[in-house]
Amino acid sequence: MKQILQDMSKGGTTVTEAPSPSSKANHLLINTTVSLISAGTERMLVDFGRANMLDKARAQPDKVKMVLEKVQTDGLMTTVDAVRSKLAQPLPLGYCNVGVVTEVGKGAETFKVGDRVASNGPHADVVRVGKNLCAKIPDEVSDEEAAFVVAASIGLQGVRLAQPTLGEAFVVTGVGLIGLLTVQLLRAHGCRVLAIDFDDAKLALAKEFGAETCNPGKGEDPIATGKAFSRGVGVDGVIITASTKESSPVTQAARMSRKRGRIVLVGVTGLDLNRADFYEKELTFQVSCSYGPGRYDPLYEEQGQDYPVGFVRWTEQRNFEAVLDMMASGQVDVKPLITHRFEFEDAPKAYDLLTTDKTALGILLKYSSEPDSRHLETVSLHKTTVFNSQKPVVGFVGAGNYASRVLIPAFKAGGAQLHTIATSGGINGVVHGDKAGFSDATTDTQGMIDNSAINTLAVVTQHNTHAHFVTAALQAGKNVFVEKPLAITLEELQQVEEAYQHAQAKGGAHLMVGFNRRFAPQVQKMKSLLEAVNEPKSFIMTMNAGAIPADHWTQDNTVGGGRIIGEACHFIDLMRFLAGSEIVSVQARRMGDTGDGAITEDKAAITLGFADGSFGTIFYLTNGAASFPKERVEVFAAGRVLQLDNFRKLKGYGWPSFKKMNLWKQDKGQNACAAAFLSAIENGTNTPISAEEIFEVARVTIEATEILRNQ
* Domain final position from 240, 263, 287: 287
pLDDT in tens, 657-666: 999 999 998 9
| Amino acid 70: pLDDT | 60
The per-residue pLDDT for 595 is 67
The chain-wide mean pLDDT, for the chain, equals 93
Asked if residues 606 and 576 have their Cβ atoms less than 8 Å apart, the reply is: no
pLDDT at residue 7, rounded to an integer: 83
Same domain, 136 and 164: no
Output the domain CATH number for residue 190. Answer: 3.40.50.720
Task: Examine the domain organization and report whether 557 and 700 are in the same domain.
Answer: yes
298 part of a folded domain: no
In 3-state terms, what secondary structure has residue 560?
coil
User: Do 453 and 523 belong together in one domain?
Assistant: no
Q: Among 483, 438, 441, which Cα is nearest to 459's?
A: 483
Within a 10 A sphere around the Cβ of 558, how many other Cβ atoms?
A: 11
Q: Mark which of 245, 261, 287 sits at the end of a domain.
A: 287
Strand order in the sheet with 583-590: 583-590, 604-610, 615-621, 538-544, 631-637, 640-645, 649-653, 660-662
Residues 552 and 498 reside in one and the same domain = no
Same domain, 309 and 336: yes
Instruction: Kindly state the average pLDDT of the residues 422-443.
Output: 95
413 and 450 co-located in one domain: yes
335 shares its domain with 478: no
SS3 category, 539: strand
705: containing domain: 517-709
| Residue predicted with more confidence, 81 or 141 | 141
Q: With respect to residue 683, please indicate whether it lies within any of the assigned structural domains.
A: yes
Distant-in-sequence, close-in-space partners of 117: CB < 8 Å, separation ≥ 6? 28, 30, 98, 99, 100, 101, 111, 134, 135, 136, 137
Residues 109 and 127 in one domain: yes
Q: What would the mean pLDDT of 166-195 be, rounded to a whole number?
A: 97
The predicted pLDDT at position 79 comes to 63
CATH of the domain at 560: 3.30.360.10
Model pLDDT, residue 22: 94
Q: Which of 514, 540, 561 is the last residue of a domain?
A: 514
Residue 225 has pLDDT above 90, yes or no: yes
The answer to whether residues 191 and 85 belong to one domain is no
In a domain, 293, yes or no: no
- Residue 536: is its pLDDT beyond 60? yes
pLDDT at 85 (0 to 100): 60
pLDDT of residue 592: 86
Assign 626 a pLDDT band (cuts: 50, 70, 90): confident
Pair 503, 474 in one domain: yes
Q: Please indicate, yes or no, whether residues 15 and 109 belong to a single structural domain of this protein.
A: yes
**Could you tell me if residue 327 is inside a domain?**
yes
What's the DSSP call for residue 19? P
Asked whether the predicted pLDDT for residue 88 surpasses 70, the reply is no
Asked if residue 135 has pLDDT above 60, the reply is yes
Tell me the per-residue pLDDT of 515-529, one tens digit each, with 9 for 90 and over.
999 999 999 999 999
Residue 69 pLDDT more than 90? Answer: no
Please indicate, yes or no, if residue 355 is contained in any of the structural domains. Answer: yes
Give domain status of residue 83, yes or no.
yes
For the segment 314-351, what is each residue's pLDDT rounded down to a tens digit? Answer: 999 999 999 999 999 999 999 999 999 999 999 999 99
Element at 590 (helix H, strand E): strand 583-590
* CATH code, 77: 3.90.180.10
DSSP β-ladder status, 660-662 and 649-653: antiparallel
Average pLDDT over residues 683-700: 97
CA-to-CA dists, residue 373 to 100, 113, 117, 225, 517, angstroms: 15, 17, 20, 56, 46
The stretch 598-604 carries a mean pLDDT of 84
Residue 278 domain flag: yes
Instruction: Give 370's pLDDT tier (boundaries 50, 70, 90).
Output: very high
Looking at the structure of the chain, the number of domains it has is 4
In a domain, 76, yes or no: yes
Assign 82 a pLDDT band (cuts: 50, 70, 90): low
- 159 shares a domain with 101: no
**pLDDT for residue 45:** 73
